[in-house]
Amino acid sequence: MACRAAGKRGIDVGLTRVLTSPSLGHAVGLTSRTSLDGASVRYIPESSFSSFLQGSGHHATKESSIRCFHASRELWARRKNDNQGVDLKTQKKGKFAKRIKKPPVDAPYVPPKLKRITKSLQDKTIDIFEGMTTVELAKRTGQSVITLQEFLVNLGEKVVSEFDPLKIDVAELVVMEVGANVRRQHSNEGSEILPRPVVVTVMGHVDHGKTSLLDALRQTSVAAKEAGGITQHLGAFVVRMPSGASITFLDTPGHAAFSAMRARGAAVTDLVVLVVAADDGVMPQTLEAISHAKSANVPVVVAINKCDKPSANPERVKLQLASEGFLLEEMGGDIQVVEVSAVTKTGLDNLEEAILLQAEMMELKARVDGHAQAYVVEAKLDKGRGPLATAIVKAGTLVCGQHVVVGSEWGRIRAIRDMSGKLTERARPAMPVVIEGLKGLPMAGDDVTVVETEERARMLSAGRRRKYEKDRLRQIMEQRTETNEPSEDDSVVPERTEMPLIVKADVQGTVQAVTDALRTLNSPQVFVNVVHVGVGPISQSDVDLAQACGAYIVGFNVKSPPSSISQAAIQAGTKIMQHQVIYHLLDEVGNLIVDKAPGTLETQVAGEAEVLNIFELRGRSKSAGGDIKIAGCRVMGGHFSKSSTMRLLRSGEEVFEGPCASLKTNKHDVELVEKGNECGLVILGCNDFQIGDVIQCLEQVVRKPKLIISDNGIARIECY
C-alpha cells in the first residue's frame, strides 16, 4: 500500500528502499517505532519527501500524513547485515568507483616456469651462408641484434650496422657462441661452371664381389690383399674407362659392422652401383644399402655379379628386388640392371654404358673457381707424414698452401696427393685426394672448410672443439639422469659387471666401426665401456691407461707392439687382443664377455629316483629327532647329491620339498649316487612316503650368456 502511494507521487520504489536506511532516515526526518508484533515501522512524513526532492528538507509541515512501511524481523536483520560497514559512497558504479579491499588469500606460492631457451637452442640447427646480415642471423637464432653485436665485438669484428654482410666463418662463430648447431649453405654459383666426373659408390652385401668387380674395371688385384678376403676400409679410386671417360669409385665394406662407412659413401656420391650375387640373392646388407641410397636420394644401377657360377639365378634376384620396391627397366621401371661377372670380365662394357648414361641424364656440373668444398671419407695417422685425410672435392678448387678447418681440427695444406701417391698442386671437383698438414686427426665424415687466415682457422677450430665438448658432456649428463631415474618396475636389478676396452685401429673410419660393433655386445650382465679410442699402433700410454682402469686393449689392423710394450703389458696384467678380420675380433671379445658375465642362478633337475620301499626307524629319543621314515629308491636318471634339495612328487604333483638329511648306500653314508644305483634317502621334515612316489634332486646352477653370430656377421649376447 505504501509502495502504491509512493508510485502515485512519482517516487521510485528503489529510491524509497535506499531512504529507509538508518543513515538517511534522520536526514529526511524519518523516525521508527516498534509495532505490537515486534516489527519495525518507519513513519515517513509526506513533506519530508517533497522537501528532500526539492532540496529543502528543513521546512517541515505540521499537517503531514504518515506513510507506514512494515517489515518482518528476518528481513530487517538481513538488510542490517548487508548494509553494515558499507558506505554509500562505495556504492557508485562506473569508471571512478572505489574498490573494496579484500583480505589476502592464504595460498601457497607457485614460482613461475622458466623458459626453456637453452635446450631448444642446443637441439636447433641454423643454416648460414656467405653475406648474411646480423638482422637475419638474429631472426634465425632468436637472439637480439645487440646480443649478436656484442659477440661480434668479442670476436674482434668491426660493427658498423646491423645490415652489413658477414663472412660465413664469423656467422658460424656467432651461432656457436649462442649454443646452436650450424649447417653451412654453399652457393654453386660461380664464374666458371664445368662438367665434372661422376662419383659412384659400390655397395652391397659382404662377399658379393664388390672389390673384385672394381679390380676387373681398373685392372688391379686389391681384393687379394684384403685380410680375410673382405673389404674393411672405404677406398676411393679414379678409373679411366676404355671409352676415355673418368669415373670416381668409392668401395665400401659389406660387413654389418661398417654401416657408417656405407652411409658416408652414399652421402657424397652421385650414383650407387648395387652389387648382388646371382647365387646368393638379396641379403640384409643389400637391403641396408638400398635404404642408404633412398635416404641420400641418389639413383641406383643394379649389377648382378657372379653370373658365371652354375648356381646363378639372375631372374630370382630380379624378382627379389622387385618385391622390395625396386622398379626395374624390364618391369616398366627406371632402374637399370646389368648382369656381370668379375671373374670372366663379362658385362663390364654394359655396366660402364649404364653408369655413363645415368650420369649424362643427371647433367653433373660443379663450380671450379673459388674456395673448395670437400668431404672427408677416411682419415689415418702416418708415422712419417702425420695426420692424413682422404677427401673428395665437391666444388671449387683445393690448392696447396691454403688454411683449412676439418671438423674441429685445422692446419695448412702442406701437400696434396692423388690416390696413386703422386703430388699435385690443386684438386678439382670429383677428385679424391689425400691432404697432409693438419694439426690433428679429423673424424671421417667431416667437411673441409677453406679459410683466409691462420687466426681465423684457429678461432673456428677452438669454437668447434668447445661446442663438441659441451654437447658430449650434455649427453653424458642426460644418460646419467636417465639411468638414475627410478623405474616403475620394482623387480630386482640383475648384477652387471663392466668390461672397459681401449680400441686402436689403422684409420679413423675403422675405429668408429669397431667401436660401434663392440658396443652392440652390451648385455644385461656385462657393460662394454670403451674408455679410449685412437688411430695408430699400441703405445706405452695405452698400456698405462689400461693398467689404471683395468681395461683390455683391442688392436685392429695395426702392427704388433714392440717387445718392450708387450712385456710391460704382461707385467701389468693387461691383455692385448690383435686382429685383422672383424669376425675374429667379435668372436674373441664375445667369448671374453661370456666368461666375465656373472650369469643367472637357475634350478635344474639333476636326477630322478623312484620309491621302491619304505623303512621306518622307531624308538629314537626326542633329542635324536624321534621316529623317521627312510625311502628306499633307485636312481632312474641323472645323479643324487646329499647337498642338494629334494622334491617329492606324487601323481605328478608336488607333495613336499626340503633338504636331504641322509643319503646311504649299503648302510654307508655317501655324497653322490649315480644312475642305476639304489640308495636310502631321508628328507628333513618329511614322513609321508608312498611306494611309487618320484623324488627329484634339485641343484642350483649358474647359467652363462651365449654368444650368437648370425650369417650376415652381426654378433649379439643372449642372456637367459
Q: What DSSP letter does each residue of 181-200 carry, written as one string?
A: EEEE------S-EEE-PEEE
Q: Please report which confidence band the pLDDT of residue 400 belongs to, taking 50, 70 and 90 as the band edges.
A: very high
Task: Supply the pLDDT for residue 549.
Answer: 87
pLDDT band at 50 (very low <50, low <70, confident <90, very high): very low
**pLDDT score recorded for residue 166:** 85
pLDDT value at residue 154: 80
pLDDT score for 651: 86
Q: Which of 99-108, 535-544, 678-687 bottoms out in mean pLDDT, i.e. has the lowest?
A: 99-108
76-90, 370-384, 463-477, 568-582, range with the lowest pLDDT = 76-90
Q: Tell me the three state secondary structure of residue 149.
A: helix
What confidence category does residue 441 fall into, taking pLDDT thresholds of 50, 70 and 90? confident
Strand pairing partners for 500?
529
- Is it the case that residue 477 has pLDDT exceeding 60? yes
Q: Is the pLDDT of residue 720 over 70?
A: no
Least confident interval from 59-68, 157-166, 415-424: 59-68
- Write out the three cell numbers for 527: 657393460
pLDDT at 79: 58
Mapped onto helix, strand or coil, the DSSP state of residue 54 is helix
Evaluate if residue 90 carries a pLDDT over 50.
Answer: no
Euclidean distance between CA atoms 373 and 406, whole angstroms: 11
Which pLDDT value is given to residue 99?
58
Q: What pLDDT is recorded for position 507? A: 84
Is pLDDT above 80 for 536?
Answer: yes
- Residue, of 60 and 536, whose pLDDT is higher: 536
- Going by pLDDT thresholds of 50, 70 and 90, the confidence category of residue 697 is very high
Structure confidence at residue 411 as a pLDDT band (50, 70, 90): very high
pLDDT of residue 609: 92
Residue 536 corresponds to which cell in the numbers above? 695408430
Beta strands 552-556; 497-505: pairing state: parallel
Pick from 105-114, 174-183, 623-632 the range whose average pLDDT is largest. 174-183
Q: How many CB atoms lie within 10 A of CB 427?
A: 25
- Hey, what's the cell of 543? 698400456
- What is the mean pLDDT of the segment spanning 565-584? 87
pTM of the model: 0.63
Greater confidence (558 vs 16) lies with: 558
Instruction: Calculate mean pLDDT across residues 127-148.
Output: 85
> Between helices 348-362 and 210-218, what is the axis angle to 10°?
90
214 contact partners, CB below 8 Å, separation of at least 6: 202, 220, 222, 237, 239, 249, 251
Contact 536, 388 (CB under 8 A): no
pLDDT score of 251: 78
Q: Are 717 and 497 in contact (CB under 8 A)?
A: no
What is d(CA 393, CA 502) in angstroms, rounded to the nearest whole number? 33
* Grid coordinates of 292: 642408404
Q: How confident is the model at residue 47 (pLDDT cuts 50, 70, 90)?
A: very low
Q: Confidence band (pLDDT; 50, 70, 90) for 110?
A: low
- Whether residue 559 has pLDDT greater than 80: yes
pLDDT at residue number 32 = 43
Whether the predicted pLDDT of 319 surpasses 60: yes
Return left, alpha or beta for 589; rule: phi > 0 is left, psi -120 to 50 is alpha, else beta.
alpha
The amino acid occupying position 638 is G
Average pLDDT, the chain: 77
pLDDT at residue 284 tops 70? yes
pLDDT confidence tier of residue 506, bands split at 50, 70 and 90? confident
Residue-level pLDDT at 266: 67
Strand partners, 527: 498
Kind of pairing, strands 271-277 and 300-305?
A: parallel
- Average pLDDT (170-196) is 80
Residue 272 has pLDDT above 50, yes or no: yes
Cell numbers at residue 178, please? 649462442
Q: Is the pLDDT score of 241 beyond 70?
A: yes
The set of residues, in sequence order, having a beta carbon less than 8 Å from that of 152 and lying 6+ positions away, is: 134, 159, 166, 170, 174
Segment 54-72, tens digit of pLDDT: 444 444 444 444 444 445 5
Q: Cα separation of 316 and 689, whole Å?
A: 67
The Cα 83–Cα 85 span in angstroms is 6
- What is the reported pLDDT for 224? 42
CA distance linking residue 389 with residue 380, whole number of Å: 7
Of the two residues 593 and 118, the one the predictor is more confident about is 593
Which of the given ranges, 3-7, 118-122, 380-384, 634-638, has the highest pLDDT on average? 634-638
